[in-house]
Structure 1
Amino acid sequence: MPTPPSATPRDEPVIRDRGDACPGALRLHAADDGYLARVRIPGGLLTSRQASALALAADRFGDGHLELTSRGNVQLRGLAGGCGTGLAELLDGAGLLPAPGHERVRNIVATPLSGIGSSGRPHVTPWVGELDRLLCASTRATALSGRFLFAIDDGRGDVAALDPDVTLLGGPRGRALVRLGAARGAVEVDAADAPRAALLAAEYFLDSADAAGTRAWQVSELPAAHAPEEGEFALRLGSAGIAADVLPQVAWPYAPSPRPWGPGTGDRTPLCVLPPLGRLTADQWRVLVGVAAGGEGDGELRVTPWRSIVLPGASTRRPLDGYARLVAAGLSVAPDGPWESVTACTGRPGCAKALSDVRADARAVVDAGEAPAGPAGAPVHWSGCERRCGHPRGAAWVDLVATPDGYLLDGRPVPSHELAQAVADARRQPRVSEDAVKK
């Protein structure tokens, strides 16, 4: 399998001659199907009121769909020109734009199951709000690129495996580890200091990027001579009043992404919902919101970096059986479904660089019923071009890339009439994850 772009060793430093072009809720991107807005959802955490506002925005300004991204954010597509002011007012009213000058740097992923049956692990979800507050209050943080990523992990190792720039890993006895980039080591701090330490880590990166003169967007782009060092970082934390211990080597844990699951026992139970290819209609989204709230106040939704949604306390009572409503809406709420571990970029007609309608092609292969699902099959990602936007992180995946002459499967051309069977065969082959290689 070709090495994913994020894992390719860098022989030379990346030199950026401009700022990143990542879209936001205020900086709209002109796509082939209209304008695109990317709404940052720190930690993927949404109240049902905020989620309802996103559905309204999709209907009022966009094409009536919502897309989940590989960083737990939400995209709106097909936006009309001139909608920026109205969209910003709607989002601001829902509390989704707390600091307009910082909205593109609020890239925080978090363990979606933290606090849900996590006996023995710290509940790190509160760290999300605190880190977001610190980011929005920091003038220095506005210099971060829209690609810089924070990960807040409760110790299981799920979001820590997503190539974040700054990782907070919850530990026992009220302690936390802070890591910059893919370093083997880390610094250890009190859990109460973890969010502030994460912000200081980002500021350390910015200082290193300034010193290197390369205008790096992410830690992995820094030249070796300017790579962050745990000892220097610990000194910086100490100067800020945060006691830190240097750990030169850490056995970083790894956990797979949460799988779809249905109801347990009781009237309210956590659910994990998988929309096919991470794309929902506004009506499907409203079903999610209704099940999350269950008619009893403001329920919670957690958008995951794996394009699924966790409903921590969904209503499953009859006659309003939330599980049945989700299934009827065309959403997966059980493991081993045909859409599990199948992802795709936007493709045609939304992306000018795409060479095929990858979503339609993915649906055709899934409908053929050849490929194994769930843990029986490796993840598969459909890319409209060689950029491989949105490809899986931290796992071995089947690599499908559209070309002018058809698809390359793991770098080999495959005739269109053999594609479904070839994908099925590739998913059955054992693969070594990036994380296993790193260890």
Structure 2
Amino acid sequence: MSTAPGTPPLTSRDDGERGDACPGALRLHAADDGALARVRVPGGVLTVRQAEALAEAARRLGDGVLHLTSRGNVQLRGLAGGDACGTELAALLDAAGLLPSYAHERVRNVVASPLSGLDGRQGTADVRPWLTRLDALLCGSATAAALSGRFLFALDDGRGDVASLGADVTVRATEDGRHARVSVGTSAEALRVPYEDAPLAALTAAETFVEAARAQGGRVWRVAELPLSPDALVQTVAGRLPHAQVGTTDPLLVLTEGPAPGPHRGALSVHAPFGRLSPAQWRELTTVAEEAGEAGSGELRLTPWRGVVVPVPGVSGERAEALLARLAATGLVTDPASPWPGVSACVGRPGCAKSLADVRADAERSLAWDVPLLPVHWSGCERRCGHPPGDRTDVVAAGDGTYRVSVVRDGKATPVTPISPTP
């Protein structure tokens, strides 16, 4: 059923008012391998039907491959571009319920703990109700439509996984599971709100940011770019919520990686090297999800670490291992000891004109090398597109067949010995 208003889709255009050229499903980006569409998938959650619709869009209009992003979204590459392609893509996505609002399609950037509600008490609360409510609130807010395509929400169930991703608004379940801490950017102060008020608090924080950005001339995309203190934003948000309390953010456990490949309680986890999922891999994922789901409730959860979690309620032991073996047979990573989850790269050549090297081919060859620190991110130019937050090794193409390497710790980069892609 179509859920989006009948507004004509935008294709291959920049937003002259805001200057935010971040691609979306209705605004295609021109790349060397064709047009690119970025489909927002809040929380990475896809029904089997929606997953099949994305595969059909990639097959019919693009290169056939599903490309996962560091926010758990999906990119379609190799598109023809133009209004005809954009209109057909919008129709496919809309029919699958992936475009609940044309006006908000680029601002539905929400990451959520992928295993939340699946693996018992590893988290302290299930964030799924937050995700559903926040997405509805976002799509219903005229103010939120002015957010940039880069603004990010994180819904953490208390385990500390997506809390590490540097979101603009982070909602984290408290230890008792009955409240949430809401922080803005790197604010030292946080709001404490009842569990059920967390989505409204997150939206209010985003709307407050929009107001502050407009006061600066409107060309501010992330909280970190505001000259206003994040704590000042927290105080303003608190004044707009009747049940919010302001306090100092307590030191909390923060993880720096997602679910390890392999079986988990109530779920299977796989990693897709470079976030690239072939038609065969995607088809097997959706088949496993459908088989393991309860009464047609199968789903996929795309992770910000370019992996996929498949909920398999009631499946364990030999049955879980058999399902994982089927996924591994397609080339997906299912071994928790694999180095692949610690290796990422931008698209590189030939997909990007700015890239100075085929970084993905070089990164794959590097798996046999000793590396200074994981995670390692390979970049074809100084922009370092898609690099993970936190400590990492940066490997950047120098343009002469070599790579410059630096170890980033606590935001400070220390150069180490350059490398050549041929050991």
* TM band (smaller chain): 0.7 to 0.9
Aligned with residue 281 of structure 1, among 266, 278, 281? 278
1:403 aligned onto 2:406: no
CA contact (8 A) 1:135 1:141 kept: yes
State the partner residue of 2:310.
Answer: 311
Whole-angstrom CA distance in 1 between matches of 2:155 and 2:118: 15
CA contact (8 A) 2:404 2:419 kept: no
State the partner residue of 2:168.
Answer: 165
Whole-angstrom CA distance in 2 between matches of 1:352 and 1:166: 33
State the partner residue of 2:411.
Answer: none
Partner-residue secondary structure (3-state), 2:301: strand
Shift of 1:20: 1.3
Q: Which digits, 9 at most, give the CA deviation of each residue in 1:366-394, with x for residues without a partner?
A: 2xx2347xxx951100001000010011x
CA contact (8 A) 1:169 1:176 kept: yes
Percent of paired sites with the same residue: 54
Shift of 1:123: 0.6
1:365 aligned onto 2:373: no
Partner-residue secondary structure (3-state), 1:105: coil
State the partner residue of 1:424.
Answer: none
Shift of 1:150: 0.5
In structure 2, relative to structure 1, the CA distance for the partners of 1:252 and 1:215 (3 Å cut) is farther
State the partner residue of 1:270.
Answer: 267
Amino acid at match of 1:142: A
Shift of 1:416: 1.7
State the partner residue of 1:12.
Answer: none
Whole-angstrom CA distance in 1 between matches of 2:223 and 2:125: 27
Partner-residue secondary structure (3-state), 1:112: coil
| Aligned 1:64-213 pairs, distance under 5 A | 64-81=64-81, 82-119=84-121, 121-171=124-174, 172-213=176-217
1:380 aligned onto 2:373: no
Whole-angstrom CA distance in 2 between matches of 1:230 and 1:264: 36
Whole-angstrom CA distance in 2 between matches of 1:35 and 1:160: 32
In structure 2, relative to structure 1, the CA distance for the partners of 1:225 and 1:262 (3 Å cut) is closer
Amino acid at match of 1:416: S
State the partner residue of 1:9.
Answer: none
Name the stretch that deviates more: 31-40 or 173-182.
Answer: 173-182
Whole-angstrom CA distance in 2 between matches of 1:278 and 1:136: 27
Whole-angstrom CA distance in 1 between matches of 2:28 and 2:204: 29
State the partner residue of 1:217.
Answer: 221
In structure 2, relative to structure 1, the CA distance for the partners of 1:318 and 1:179 (3 Å cut) is closer
Amino acid at match of 1:308: G
CA contact (8 A) 1:154 1:170 kept: yes
State the partner residue of 1:260.
Answer: 260
1:34 aligned onto 2:41: no
In structure 2, relative to structure 1, the CA distance for the partners of 1:131 and 1:143 (3 Å cut) is same
| Aligned 1:323-338 pairs, distance under 5 A | 323-338=324-339
In structure 2, relative to structure 1, the CA distance for the partners of 1:178 and 1:227 (3 Å cut) is closer
Shift of 1:225: 6.2
Structure 2 spans left out of the alignment, 5+ residues: 1-15, 407-414
State the partner residue of 2:10.
Answer: none
Shift of 1:226: 8.1
Q: Which digits, 9 at most, give the CA deviation of each residue in 1:295-335, with x for residues without a partner?
A: 76241111011111111217677699321111110011121
CA contact (8 A) 1:371 1:377 kept: no
Whole-angstrom CA distance in 2 between matches of 1:392 and 1:325: 29
Structure 1 spans left out of the alignment, 5+ residues: 1-15, 421-439
Partner-residue secondary structure (3-state), 1:106: coil
In structure 2, relative to structure 1, the CA distance for the partners of 1:365 and 1:249 (3 Å cut) is closer
Shift of 1:156: 1.6
| Aligned 1:6-25 pairs, distance under 5 A | 18-25=18-25
In structure 2, relative to structure 1, the CA distance for the partners of 1:102 and 1:357 (3 Å cut) is same
In structure 2, relative to structure 1, the CA distance for the partners of 1:264 and 1:188 (3 Å cut) is closer
CA contact (8 A) 1:219 1:227 kept: no
Partner-residue secondary structure (3-state), 1:253: coil
CA contact (8 A) 1:49 1:298 kept: no
Partner-residue secondary structure (3-state), 1:321: helix
Whole-angstrom CA distance in 2 between matches of 1:397 and 1:215: 30
CA contact (8 A) 2:109 2:151 kept: yes
Name the stretch that deviates more: 347-356 or 218-227.
Answer: 218-227
Whole-angstrom CA distance in 1 between matches of 2:49 and 2:393: 38
Partner-residue secondary structure (3-state), 1:236: coil
Partner-residue secondary structure (3-state), 2:328: helix
Name the stretch that deviates more: 356-365 or 145-154.
Answer: 356-365
Amino acid at match of 1:285: W
Whole-angstrom CA distance in 1 between matches of 2:235 and 2:364: 50
Q: Which digits, 9 at most, give the CA deviation of each residue in 1:24-53, with x for residues without a partner?
A: 011011111000000000001111111111
| Aligned 1:343-358 pairs, distance under 5 A | 343-358=344-359
In structure 2, relative to structure 1, the CA distance for the partners of 1:173 and 1:28 (3 Å cut) is closer
State the partner residue of 2:298.
Answer: 299
| Aligned 1:222-237 pairs, distance under 5 A | 222-224=226-228, 228-237=232-241
Note the aligned Cα RMSD (angstroms).
2.3
CA contact (8 A) 1:157 1:254 kept: yes
Q: Using structure 2 for the length normalisation, give the TM-score.
A: 0.87
Partner-residue secondary structure (3-state), 1:78: strand
Shift of 1:396: 1.2
Amino acid at match of 1:385: C
